[in-house]
Chain A
Amino acid sequence: MLPMDHVVGLSAILFALGVLGVATRRNLIAMLMSIELMLNAVNLALVAFNRIWSQVDGAAALDGQVFVLMVISVAAAEVAVGLGILLSMFRNRDSVDIEEVSLLRW
């Protein structure tokens, strides 16, 4: 049996690392990778909580794992659209530095 508090703690650490990545990197592709890291941290927490509440009245309860599959499909959609945005940004600005894209900044 795994120490569940440490599993959820690992998820919190990975999430914080993802936040730091989004905060410090200027390269859009690295920011997207950090967002993936945050989504993975959430997935780990969902799987861990599903392991804690693994049954309802003797039958297997898999709600957490179903949610993980949904998060993975949302992540795939997000990466596809994010990389499409990145490609068109590179085509227009010749750079993936987010500091260069300031049209909507006040």
Chain B
Amino acid sequence: MTVEATLFYGFAILAVVSALGMLLNFRNTVASAMSLVVTMVSLAGIYVLLEAYLVAAIQVMVYGGAIVVLFLFVVMLLNLSTDEFPRGRRRLAKLALVVAGVALLAQALVALGRSPLLSAPVAAVPEGFGGYRALGIALYTDFVLLVEMASLLLLAAIVGALILAKRKID
């Protein structure tokens, strides 16, 4: 096994374990959010191994930084602590959803295992793949409309969040 593959399996195990930690931490929402940070950072490590360097940096900054800090801010602001496993009448419906999720995963894994495309060797990347220069040129030439749409969406989200969180609209 090559060094890259070993690193990948390490990051993959870390990501799955911390995702499980996020799911199973019913008592403490802050610990849940910290587990989510570990998942995000190990995914950034896998992006580096896949030679998507700028995406890895943005993953750490936006997800590990901004988004999880926002979660922690709200958790601490509202002083949330406990969350029990669903009981009573909704339990059966949720159990059915869990079974459906596991079945979906099993089907996806079987389908992936049969794919000839994914087991074929991958060609080396061209010069500058995944760096800020190539990605920046792609963003501001071919995908410039997409960038404008993203900025419009973020503006709408800022206005929407402000109005939702404001105590009284004047």
**Chain A residues near B (Cβ < 8 Å):** 1-10, 12-21, 23-27, 29-30, 32-34, 36-37, 40, 43-44, 47-48, 50-52, 54-55, 58-60, 62-63, 65-66, 68-70, 72-81, 83-88, 90-91, 96-97, 99
How far apart are the CA atoms of A31 and B50 in the complex, in Å?
29
A26 touches B86 (CB 8 A): yes
B134 touches A96 (CB 8 A): no
How far apart are the CA atoms of A47 and B40 in the complex, in Å?
14
* B residues near A62, Cβ cutoff 8 Å: 129-130, 134-135, 138
Residue among B112, B123, B135 making CB contact with A66, cutoff 8 Å: B135
Which of B29, B101, B126, B162 has most chain A Cβ within 10 Å? B101
Nearest CB of B to A106, in Å = 13
Chain B: interface secondary structure?
helix
A90 touches B54 (CB 8 A): no
Across the two chains, which residue of chain A brings its CB closest to B11? A10
* A residues near B66, Cβ cutoff 8 Å: 76
Chain A: interface secondary structure?
helix
Nearest CB of A to B116, in Å = 10
Task: Flag whether B153 is at the interface (Cβ < 8 A).
Answer: yes
Q: List 19 A-B contacts (CB under 8 A).
A: A2-B5, A2-B50, A5-B112, A7-B8, A12-B108, A17-B16, A30-B32, A34-B23, A48-B50, A51-B52, A52-B122, A60-B126, A66-B139, A69-B55, A76-B62, A80-B161, A84-B164, A86-B74, A97-B83
* A residues near B134, Cβ cutoff 8 Å: 60, 62
Residue among A25, A54, A72 making CB contact with B126, cutoff 8 Å: A54
B70 touches A80 (CB 8 A): yes
